[in-house]
Homo-oligomer: A and B are copies of this chain.
Amino acid sequence: MVLSRTSQYAVQALIYIATQAPGEPVLNRDIADRLNVPAAYLAKILQSLCKHGLLDSFRGRLGGFCLRDGMQKTSLMQVLLLTEGPDFTKSCILGLKECTDETACPMHFKWKPVKNKIIAMMNDMHLEDLAKAVQTGKYRLADLPAAAMPVA
């Protein structure tokens, strides 16, 4: 409805990494297993997040990915601007090229406050806080494994 799969994987992975001891690299394989996400694809996403400075990566034994120093406070908006592209916040819900009060589509003035709420929400959520929430054990970062699901 709002985020591409790539963005979802990126956010999930970053939150997961943020729950782990800082400075201790986390294996791509472990993240993929934990989130139940395709490992080779996730690796690409993490590599891209490295290039953009959110993560540090280390090769070889004891290698893996960890949050770059200071990046605990990264907002989801910062992440989404990378994964969804710089126009993430600029789109018209009907697909018009411009979305301004002057070029409004018939949904614009209803949509604008909702869109602003989404933007504010994404600006307001930081990896740190989301990681803490997960650490309370009250929230899920991934679907339960099939084995743990009630029989259908």
Contact = CB atoms under 8 A, between A and B. Distances in A.
Interface of A: 1-3, 5, 8-9, 11-12, 15, 84, 88, 91, 93-98, 103-108, 110-111, 114-115, 117-118, 121, 124-125, 130, 133-134, 138-143
B1 A143 contact: no
Nearest to A91: B1
Given A111-B121, A117-B114, A2 B139 contact: no
Contacts of A5: 95
A130 B105 CA distance: 9
Is chain A's binding surface mostly helix, strand, loop or mixed? loop
A108 B2 contact: no
B143 A96 contact: yes
Given A2-B2, A96-B143, A105-B141, A118 B125 contact: no
A83 B9 CA distance: 25
Nearest to A37: B95
A31 to B, nearest CB: 14
Contacts of A110: 121, 124-125
